[in-house]
Amino acid sequence: MSDLLERLYVLDWHGNVWQLIVRLLVAAICGFLLGLERKKRSKEAGIRTHTIVAIASALMMIVSKYAFLEMGGDGRFDGARIAAQVVTGIGFLGAGMIFYRRDMLHGLTTAAGIWATAGIGLAIGGGMLVIGVVSTLMILIIQLVFHLPFKSLHSQHFTILKAQAILENEETVADLKKKFNITKFIKFRTLQKSEGQITAELEFIASRPYTANELYKIISETPYITLLEKTEEN
């Protein structure tokens, strides 16, 4: 009987329940920081998603660990049962963020971040606050470092550009490829043909990122390009 009362003391409002609330708050802060980094890069999952995932994971861990203590240790109580379902369930949320577009896979890092956020929430909900906070800092450092402009840290830089151009001959096309170091045409649609000229709508992958000022300068210096805009960048 004394052992049961000792276990139930965890839920005493004047005692450790405040510790559980602190765990939820710490999980919310960690989720907020991870979501803020994703939001600044205009990713699919931002502050609200990461914060909610962290709080919910911490809550489920707390429920899994403390809500069934009165069942005792006779084998009817498995403290990891609810928490284990978080790992499975978060996979469905992460899978929804991965998509395939223009022959490229997107959303893997964001999906992995959601998965990691759930793990951090579980750790904090289980009382391992230091582990959760350190894991958050490690993920943030990795994200920041790997976005620094070091060539050795990146397998590929690219920009997807959309343009309208008046193509007179093959030399014009060759000049366009050379100007942007085009690695691949995604779309090439003829809009108009007249007097040996082709007005075409193009979408292609350039080998490096471009700023808005650079694109404006290219348009002003290249008479056969009538429209140029950036649709995606990595």
Check: CB of residue 120 under 8 Å from CB of residue 132: yes
Q: How far apart are CA 163 and CA 144, in angstroms?
A: 32
Same domain, 144 and 49: yes
Which of 127, 150, 173 lies at the terminal end of a domain, its last residue?
Answer: 150
Same domain, 120 and 229: no
Is pLDDT above 70 for 50? yes
Are β-strands 104-106 and 225-233 bridged in parallel, bridged antiparallel, or unpaired? Answer: unpaired
Q: How far apart are CA 195 and CA 191, in angstroms?
A: 14
**Structure confidence at residue 138 (pLDDT):** 93
Which of 96, 120, 150 lies at the terminal end of a domain, its last residue?
Answer: 150
Is pLDDT above 90 for 103? no
List, for residues 177-220, the tens digit of each pLDDT value.
777 777 667 677 776 777 767 788 877 777 777 777 877 888 88
Q: How many angstroms separate the Cα of 206 from the Cα of each of 99, 107, 160, 184, 216?
A: 21, 20, 6, 8, 16
Same domain, 79 and 130: yes
**Structure confidence at residue 9 (pLDDT):** 47
Same domain, 127 and 13: yes
Share the mean pLDDT of the chain.
76
**How many beta carbons lie within 10 A of that of residue 154, not counting itself?**
12
Same domain, 67 and 163: no
List, for residues 125-157, the tens digit of each pLDDT value.
888 999 999 999 998 898 888 766 555 555 555
Same domain, 14 and 114: yes
Same domain, 117 and 179: no
Q: What are phi and psi of 45, to 5 degrees?
A: -100, 125
Alpha helix ranges (H) inside the chain: 2-8, 17-40, 47-66, 81-95, 108-125, 129-145, 170-180, 212-221
**Structure confidence at residue 54 (pLDDT):** 92
Same domain, 112 and 221: no
Same domain, 107 and 214: no
Same domain, 108 and 216: no
5 — pLDDT class (breaks 50, 70, 90): very low
**Structure confidence at residue 23 (pLDDT):** 92
Domain assignment of residue 226, given as a range:
159-233
Is pLDDT above 80 for 87? no
Domain count, the chain: 2
Which of 150, 176, 194 lies at the terminal end of a domain, its last residue?
Answer: 150
Same domain, 52 and 104: yes
Q: Look at the alpha carbons of 10, 16, 17, 23 in this order and tell me if their dihedral is positive or negative.
A: negative
The CATH number for 193's domain is: 3.30.70
Same domain, 166 and 114: no
